[in-house]
Structure 1
Amino acid sequence: MTGTKRQQAIRKALRALAPGIPLADAEAVLALAERRHMKTLPPSTALWLALGSHVRHSHTDYDRLLAEGYDRDAARFFVVEETDAVLSGWGCQRSVADGEEIEADAEA
């Protein structure tokens, strides 16, 4: 396995958390998790935030809801089930509906 210890830890966390994630999505999530503002977070936390952010922005109507004037919290509320369905489809046992998400966004 190549990369820094942090990059290796993030990839390992992704394989454990979402074993069925498609390659294109995995690459996007890894890129988000490795962004500079995520470096102060533990690798598993950075990965979880990046995973949730990617699914929200790429696999739900989240961005459309924001464009329609919903605030971030309301838009997240309306896409939580869809977000969890995508994560579940990738074999993820965690849920954004459980309120485990830290108030940070990989897209920030």
Structure 2
Amino acid sequence: MIGGTKRQKEMRKALRNLAPRIPMSDAEAILGLALSGHLRHLPPTIALWQAVTSHVRHELTEYDTLLEEGYDRDAARFFVVETMNSILSAWGCNRQIASDGDGL
């Protein structure tokens, strides 16, 4: 994703600032989510945070498995928040998700 629109460039820059050590494969997936239609109206930093948390939750934790096992959404989020924050820290992200769901 070299070049691109102004918004794409803003998103890449914002993602580098948010998570400087993010693996390229995760970065590309997150940028795709952040640039999708339902997040398009949001400022880049907000769209990216929503895309980052969604990607980490669904792709890198057992969140969906917990839902399939019958846990409700809030319980499943509670059980994966530590894993999510560990991943965010490993990516160099200074922002964390509160265990009460703030920041999701």
Superposition TM-score, scaled by structure 1 size: 0.88
Runs of at least 4 residues off by over 4 Å: none
- Contact 1:81-1:97 at 8 Å conserved across structures: no
What's the CA shift string for 1:38-71, capped at 9, x where partnerless? Answer: 0111111000000011111111110100111112
Give 2:14's aligned amino acid: A
Q: Which runs of 5+ in 1 are unaligned?
A: 102-108
Give 1:100's aligned amino acid: G
Give 2:103's aligned amino acid: E
Give 2:66's aligned amino acid: L
Q: How does 1:1-108 map to 2 (within 5 A)?
A: 2-97=3-98, 99-101=102-104
The DSSP-based 3-state class of the residue aligned with 1:96 is coil
% identity of equivalent residues = 60
What CA distance in whole angstroms lies between the structure 2 residues aligned with 1:56 and 1:100?
13
The count of aligned residue pairs is 101
Shift of 1:100: 2.3
Work out which structure has the larger RCO, using CA pairs closer than 8 Å and 6 or more positions apart in sequence. 1
Q: Which runs of 5+ in 2 are unaligned?
A: none
Superposition TM-score, scaled by structure 2 size: 0.91
What CA distance in whole angstroms lies between the structure 2 residues aligned with 1:97 and 1:83?
10
Alignment RMSD (CA, Å): 1.2
What CA distance in whole angstroms lies between the structure 2 residues aligned with 1:91 and 1:16?
9
The DSSP-based 3-state class of the residue aligned with 1:11 is helix
